[in-house]
Amino acid sequence: MRYQRSSALFQSAQKVIPGGVNSPVRAFKSVGGSPVFVQKAKGAYLYDEDGNQLIDFISSWGPMILGHAFEPILEAVKDRADRGTSYGMPTELETQIAELVVKMVPNIDKVRMVNSGTEACMSSVRLARGYTGREKIIKFAGCYHGHSDAFLIQAGSGATTFGAPNSPGVTQGTAKDTLLAQFNDLESVRLHFEQHPEKIAAIIIEPVAGNMGCIPPRAGFVEGLRKFCDEHQSLLIFDEVMTGFRLANGGAQETLGVKADIMTYGKVLGGGLPVGAFAAREEIMNYLAPEGPIYQAGTLSGNPLAMAAGFAMLTHLNDHEDIFERLKIKTKALADGMIAELEKKGIPYQLNHYGSMLSLHFTEKPVVNFETAVLGNNDRFKQYFHGMLDRGVYLPPSAFESYFLNDALSEEDIASTLLAFEDWLKSL
Ligand code: KE4
123 CB within 6 A, ligand 1: no
Q: Which residue, judged by its Cα, is nearest atom 7 of ligand 1? A: 146
242 CB within 6 A, ligand 1: yes
Same domain, 12 and 139: no
Same domain, 44 and 145: no
Point out the domain boundary residue: 276, 300, 319: 319
Same domain, 342 and 222: no
pLDDT of residue 2: 82
392: left (phi over 0), alpha (psi -120 to 50) or beta: left
The model's confidence at residue 158, banded by pLDDT at 50, 70 and 90, is: low
SS3 call for 106: coil
Q: What is the C-alpha to C-alpha distance for residues 337 and 20, in angstroms, rounded to an integer?
A: 36
240 CB within 6 A, ligand 1: no
Is residue 123 a contact partner of residue 294, using CB atoms and an 8 Å limit? no
pLDDT of residue 39: 98
Q: How many residues does the chain have?
A: 428
Q: Which residues are catalytic?
A: 144, 239, 267
Same domain, 60 and 209: no
Per-residue pLDDT tens over the stretch 274-318: 999 999 999 999 999 999 999 999 999 999 999 999 999 999 999
Across-strand partners of 277? 113, 265
Residues of the chain with pLDDT > 70, as a percent, come to 98
pLDDT of 25 strictly over 80: yes
Q: What is the C-alpha to C-alpha distance for residues 277 and 266, in angstroms, rounded to an integer?
A: 6
The model's confidence at residue 159, banded by pLDDT at 50, 70 and 90, is: very low
Helix (H) or strand (E) holding 136: strand 136-140
Per-residue pLDDT tens over the stretch 204-259: 999 999 999 999 999 999 999 999 999 999 999 999 999 999 999 999 999 999 99
Same domain, 54 and 106: no
Q: What is the average pLDDT across 178-204?
A: 97
Number of domains in the chain: 2
Point out the domain boundary residue: 319, 340, 355: 319
Please report, for the domain that includes residue 325, its CATH number: 3.90.1150.10
Per-residue pLDDT tens over the stretch 161-181: 566 788 899 999 999 999 999
315 CB within 6 A, ligand 1: no
Point out the domain boundary residue: 296, 319, 342: 319
Q: DSSP string of 248-291? A: BTTHHHHHHT---SEEEE-GGGGTTSS-EEEEE-HHHHTTBTTT
164 CB within 6 A, ligand 1: no
**35 class by beta-carbon count within 10 Å (0-12 exposed, 13-18 middle, 19+ buried):** buried
Same domain, 27 and 61: yes
What's the pTM value of the predicted model, to 2 decimals?
Answer: 0.97
Identify which of 118, 262, 357, 402 to mutate to test ligand 1's pocket (most ligand atoms within 8 A of the CB): 118
**368 class by beta-carbon count within 10 Å (0-12 exposed, 13-18 middle, 19+ buried):** buried
What are the start-end ranges of the H helices in 182-258?
Answer: 186-195, 221-232, 251-256
Same domain, 200 and 310: yes
Q: Which residue, judged by its Cα, is nearest atom 6 of ligand 1? A: 146
Phi, psi of 380 (to 5 degrees): -65, -35
pLDDT of 403 strictly over 50: yes
Same domain, 215 and 296: yes
Same domain, 361 and 390: yes
pLDDT of 160 strictly over 90: no
Q: What is the C-alpha to C-alpha distance for residues 107 and 279, in angstroms, rounded to an integer?
A: 9
Per-residue pLDDT tens over the stretch 86-108: 999 999 999 999 999 999 999 99
211 CB within 6 A, ligand 1: yes
Atom of ligand 1 nearest to the CA of 118: 2
Atom of ligand 1 nearest to the CA of 401: 19
Please report, for the domain that includes residue 131, its CATH number: 3.40.640.10
Nearest to 3 by CA among 43, 39, 30: 39
Same domain, 336 and 390: yes
Q: What is the average pLDDT across 73-90?
A: 98
pLDDT of residue 340: 98
pLDDT of residue 49: 98
Across-strand partners of 205? 238
pLDDT of residue 154: 81
Same domain, 269 and 349: no
Atom of ligand 1 nearest to the CA of 121: 8
Same domain, 31 and 139: no
Structural domain that includes position 349: 4-69+321-427
